Structure 1
Amino acid sequence: MADLSRVMVVGRSRITQVVVAKIVEGLGLRPLVESPESAMQTLRSVLPGIVVLDGGPENRDCETLMPALAALRRETAGLRPALVLLSTRMAPSGNPLLSSPVDAVVAKPITPEQLQPVLSRLAT
């Protein structure tokens, strides 16, 4: 069962991880910060309510996680975890992150005014 108070923040940029974690905390939710490489192991023990994926400059930094996230969503009838992609730009069609079940795309640079409403909507 998903822990709706948990938001997993996945990305390679430490700065983005810290900014997003602070926004998550400001909403009264609990951030769980992971690199794309460590996130898979954590997903085996914790099912967060929301996963925020930092796509990186080419929107591909987290694409190796998509099969596992898609499988988790199938197990929960498509509800959890909700997926948010942080993007520097819209990627060309065929990008695995954008063709997957992403619930929201938020443009970088990330601000609380952009991300808070998205997280609030998906946390309910």
Structure 2
Amino acid sequence: MFPTTASAPRPQGEFAGHTWFTLNASILVALLAASAALTPLYTRYQADWHLSALMVTVVFSAYALALLAALPVTGSLSDYLGRRPVLIAALLAEAAAMAWFAAADGVPELIAAPIVQGLATGAATSSA
């Protein structure tokens, strides 16, 4: 007969490795897509609120700076706490950033929302 290899039974509730990869990849793609989706809105904010080109650059760069700041910190944090808690926190922070963008009525919100979004995307990138 053919030799068979016995494998240990998988505990209940545990996903296969490819399922975790798919979940992590989809979270990362969703957060990166959300950050890119807001870029066309900056020109609308500029026109509606009479923002200078420098102010739009500040708003746009807030995301990138927060992302770069989050990468080294949240990478170590996900090693300490685990990937799941960090990814869940990143998703919650991303939802908060989207709500902040939707309710924005001035420049302070336009600077704060990309900072939160950059921190969330950096956390998801480093832990996924």
Say yes or no: TM over 0.5.
Answer: no
Larger Rg: 2
Q: TM-score normalised to the size of structure 1? A: 0.25
Greater length-normalized contact order (CA 8 Å, ≥ 6 residues apart): 2
More strand by share: 1
Q: TM-score normalised to the size of structure 2? A: 0.25
More helix by share: 2
